[in-house]
């Protein structure tokens, strides 16, 4: 995706201190904000992932600030891998951090994630009424797993019909159980890694974020 300039941050909370970067769009603040979660840290996932880069570009194109961070134990973030449950605390700390940034409108915040990051973001968003939107890209699915998530904000689940880890049919089956404002988009010819499809990802997620973050 190329280098996207931003401002380095340290996210401090009751848990491990995390490294992060804040990216600001063109224009005059305050901007809405989007926290972006990276894929699985035990398989090389970090804040430099190309799909994270695509979500940053989608956010900036929608006029929103974007905060990307490394989960605990990744890069210069403190701590160690927490199996997905502890990483939800990292997401909450990142949401609190972006709300404290002087350029960001704390009342217009969205959450986004890819793969493992999508799974953690969805779990962290469950039951929260303080988010304007949620974007879940290629959220891994497991047939037979109980749906214990209830989303209270507009949510976009986007995946491809060739995804090796996300079953689009399962997302469609469980859509109504996830929450009343859930949209599922299945793109033809796209696999889990979105090879050659970043522009499609930027377009669909950027449009969704713009729709739900632009109104003050």
Could you read off the pLDDT of 56-69 as tens digits, one per residue?
A: 999 999 999 999 99
pLDDT of residue 146: 72
Q: What is the phi/psi pair of residue 141, to 5°? A: -120, 160
Return the structure tokens found at 86. 């502890």
Over residues 112-153, the pLDDT tens digits come to 999 999 999 999 999 999 999 999 999 999 877 677 899 999
Q: Is the peptide bond before 109 cis (omega within 30 degrees of 0)?
A: no
- Residue written as token pair 């303080």: 130
Angle, CA of 36, 159 and 75, to the nearest 5°: 30
Over residues 25-65, the pLDDT tens digits come to 999 999 999 999 999 999 999 999 999 999 999 999 999 99
Q: What is the fold of 16-213?
A: Rossmann fold (3.40.50)
Measured in Å, how far apart are the chain's first and last C-alpha atoms? Answer: 30
Domain boundaries, given as residue ranges, for the chain:
16-213
């Amino acid at each position: 995706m190329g280098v996207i300039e931003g401002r380095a941050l340290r996210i401090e909370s009751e848990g491990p201190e995390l490294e992060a970067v804040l990216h600001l769009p063109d224009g005059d603040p305050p901007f809405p904000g989007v926290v972006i979660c990276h894929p699985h840290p035990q398989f090389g996932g970090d804040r430099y992932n190309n799909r994270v880069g695509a979500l940053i570009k989608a956010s900036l194109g929608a006029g929103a600030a974007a905060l990307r961070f490394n989960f605990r134990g990744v890069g210069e973030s403190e701590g160690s891998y927490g199996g997905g449950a502890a990483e939800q605390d990292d997401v909450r700390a990142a949401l609190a951090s972006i709300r404290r940034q002087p350029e960001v409108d704390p009342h217009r915040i969205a959450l986004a994630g890819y793969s493992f990051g999508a799974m953690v973001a969805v779990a962290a968003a469950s039951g929260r009424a303080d988010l304007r939107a949620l974007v879940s890209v290629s959220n891994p699915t497991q047939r037979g797993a109980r749906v214990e998530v209830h989303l209270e904000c507009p949510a976009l689940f986007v995946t491809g019909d060739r995804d090796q880890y996300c079953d689009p049919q399962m997302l469609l089956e469980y859509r109504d159980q996830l929450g009343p404002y859930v949209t599922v988009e299945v793109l033809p010819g796209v696999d889990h890694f979105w090879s050659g499809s970043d522009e499609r990802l930027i377009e669909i997620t950027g449009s969704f974020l713009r729709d739900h973050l632009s109104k003050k």
